[in-house]
Every structure is written in C-alpha cells, then in structure tokens.
Amino acid sequence: MPIADAINKELYARNAELAVRNKTLSLLRKIDEVTLETLETDQMIARVVSLLDEEFSYPFAAVGLVDAKKRELSWRSFACLDTTIPLCHSTESLGKVKLTKRTHPCVEALKTKHRVVAKSLFEVLGAGVNPVLTKQFEKQAGIKSVLVFPLATGSEPIGVLVLGMNRTANDLSRLEKETFGSLLSLITIAIEKAQTYTFLQVTTKKLRSANKKLKALDSLKSEFLSIASHQLRTPLAIMKGYVAMLDNGMLGILTGEQKDALKTVGTSTEQLIMLVNHLLDLTRIEAGKLQVKMETIDATEIVNWVVEFVTPKILEKKLTLNWKPNGKVMVQADPEKLKEVVMNFMDNAVKYTEKGSITVSLSSAGGLVKIAVTDTGYGLTAEDQERMFEKFATGSASKFVKTTSGIGLYVCHKLAEAMGGTVMAESKGKGKGSTFTATFKV
C-alpha cells in the first residue's frame, strides 16, 4: 500500500474517532445542561429520555426508579419516536416491576450491575402492560432488541435505563459504545441530585407546616401562661397580705413554732410571686409586648432595697454579706425591671451558696454603671457560662437546689437588653463561686 494511502487511511480513522468523541462530548454536555436547568426528578428524567431518543433515534427509551420501601421498580418517564402508538401516551399504561422477581431483566441488571439483553419489551415493562399493545408497538416501531442498563451509585441501585432498539445488541455504533459508560454515570448522578432536591423540597414543606403549627401552639402556650399568671397574682397578693398581718400580730399573738411556720410560708409566697412575675415577663417578651419606662434613678437605692429584702435568707443560711453603699449612683433604667434583675442575681447567689459569702458591688466609670453579685457557691462550668442566659437553661449545679425554673436569668437578660444594658456570668469553675454582672448606661 502506498505511504500516502496508509496516511490517508490513518487520518480518516482518527478523524472518525475524533468525530465520535466530539459527538459524545456534545451529548454529555447537553445532558449536563438538562440537569442544570431542572432539579425536579420527573421533569429531568423526561428531558434526558427525550434527548437520548432524539440523538440515537431509539424507537423507545425509558427510565425506571427503585422504590426501596415498596420493593418495586416504577416507570417514571419514557419517549417514543412514533407518538401515535397508544402505548406511548402515559406512564400509567406501564406496569410496575416487583424487585422480588429475580428472573426479571431489570432485577437481574440491578443485581449484577451489568447490561442485560431482554427477549422483548413486554418482558421488561412488567405484567401490568397490555401484551397486545406492547407486541403491536414493537412491530410498528421495528424494535429488534431491548437493552437494560443498571443505574447505581456504589452498592445502592437507584433505577434502570431501558432502550428499545431497531437493531441487535451486537450492532451498537461506535458512538453508542463510547457514550454509554459516561452516559450512565452522568444520568445516575443527575437523578440522585434531582431526588435529593425533591426530598429537600418535600422536607422543607413539611418543616414549614410543622413550624406553623408549633408557632400556633407556642402562641396558645404564651396566652395560657399570661392568663394563668395574672390569675395567680391576686391570690398570692392576698396570701402575702395575710402573712404580713400575722407576722405583725394584727390577728393575735403567735408562738415561736407558728412564727417559724409563717416564715416558711412567707418565703414560699415570695418565691411564687417572683416566678409569676418571670412568667408574665416571659409571655410579654415572646409576644413582643415588653415595655420599659426608662428613668434616671439611683441604682444604690434599688440595690439597698433588694439587699434588705434578701438579708433574712442570707442570715438563715449563715452566709456573710458584703455590701457597702457609697453614695448615689445614677443610671438610666426602669426601676421595677432593674429591681427584678438584681433580685434574681441575689436570689440565685443565696440559693447556690451553702457556705462562705455573697458580695454585692456597684460602680460607675466610663459612662457605664455595673452591678455585680459574687458568691462562693457551686460555681459554673464553661458550658454553663455559654448557655446560662438561654431560656429554660439550668446549670450543672441545679441538682443541688430544690427549685429552679430555668427562666429567671433568661428574663434578666431580656430585661437588661430592653433597657439598653447587658448581663454576664463568670466563674473559675466548679466549687469556685460565680459572679453575675449587669451593665447599664449612666
């Protein structure tokens, strides 16, 4: 053979190979574009199947997806060159393939992860299809062979690609042979991506519905707490009044034992009143109806009042109180809300300290006023400090106390925030006490 002819033959072969590869890349790019244009599973599959039908002129192409729960394969989309054939009007005309039927071509392809050549289209589509229509379709379309390709990622099968061809399986073109390897991987990835998107869409819809219901329930809960708290305030106020009358001897002289019992009742009543106030504040905070009346007030006066109120509890536990007022310290705050913040700090200090001391300090510097309550109690872990002001958060030392609601410090945080201030919790660790600080503008 002349050298020129040999060169021309080689060039022809290489050009043909290059043409096939270019066409392969073009097809893969088109499929990739389809997967980018739509993320809805059925739409994406329909576009891919139609594209295969157009590019290779297959009389029939279909994709079936595995439903692991139902243990069956359902046909999601297909395309036919001749759309006048009844079988091609709807996927509802196609049957479902039970994955328990081991001799079925689709099940075999999924199990072996290799291409399977089926005897007929009727054998592939399942018992649910009309055999007469299927045979009529195969004859009209000129289908000579049916190929089943598995679609799988790793060890998990997700479906099959079925091609009804007008030539035998041995007569695949070079383009088809070049393309199928990459094509199946691309289709599998695209379907997986679409299924993930569909799953996320459904999950998001369910979460939105659940969130809507939770908001409604939360609103009802807040409304209930508000009503219940308001109704509790009246009997608690009456109890507090009668305790004061009994303590002052207005209703007769009490014995020592009776006074001790009355003291316990008074302490419990105050704790209930504080809890009710916290619940009311909580419902107002969550409803966005918390109101503060900012005034220029003397913080020393507020702290003095709280210290005097808590002193009996401190003496009862035989703790040392360190508090030395040093004149007026003016601050911008709501007097009742500030009192509640300091009261909560003091109450917690007493509650979580079994021995040692409680130190209260008040200072003003750099345009800021700081109120700090330091104790020598159980202390806080690093985790406690991070979540101490979260709603319903209880510290690691809560197991040592009888009563804790987990809302007091959360309410303090929100009250301070509403007054333009901040709160902070510090501790050197378990058993080393803690310091709670509230900071406000002068």
Reported as a single tens digit per residue, the pLDDT across 58-79 is 888 888 888 888 888 888 777 7
Spelled out in words, what is the top-level CATH class assigned to the domain 292-441? alpha beta
> What is the per-residue pLDDT for 303?
95
> Where in the chain is CATH 3.30.450.40?
3-202
Contacts within 8 Å (CB) and 24+ apart, 398-406: 400/352, 401/351, 401/352, 403/271, 403/351, 404/351, 405/275, 405/278
The residues, any chain, with a CB within 8 Å of residue 180's CB and separated by 6 or more, are 149
> Half-sphere exposure of 145 toward its Cβ, with a 13 Å CA cutoff?
11
SS3 357: strand
Considering only residues 171 and 415, tell me which one the structure prediction assigns the higher pLDDT: 415
SS3 291: coil
Helix axes 335-351, 256-286, angle to 10 degrees: 120
> Rounded CA gap, 384 and 394, in Å?
8
> Rounded CA gap, 143 and 48, in Å?
20
What CATH number is given for 3-202 in this structure? Answer: 3.30.450.40
> Rounded CA gap, 88 and 84, in Å?
7
Q: Residue range 290-296: average pLDDT?
A: 88
> Rounded CA gap, 295 and 293, in Å?
6
**298: buried, middle or exposed (CB in 10 Å: 19+, 13-18, 0-12)?**
middle
316-333 b/e with 16+ CB inside 10 Å = b? eeebebebeeeeebebbb
Q: Is the pLDDT of residue 401 over 60?
A: yes
* 2-37 pLDDT, tens digit each: 666 566 555 655 555 565 566 667 777 777 777 667
Q: Is the pTM of this model over 0.75?
A: no
* 102-112 pLDDT, tens digit each: 889 999 999 98
CB-CB neighbours of 123 under 10 Å: 16
- Mean pLDDT taken over the chain: 81
> Where in the chain is CATH 3.30.565.10?
292-441
Q: Is the pLDDT of residue 144 over 80?
A: yes
> Rounded CA gap, 246 and 82, in Å?
99
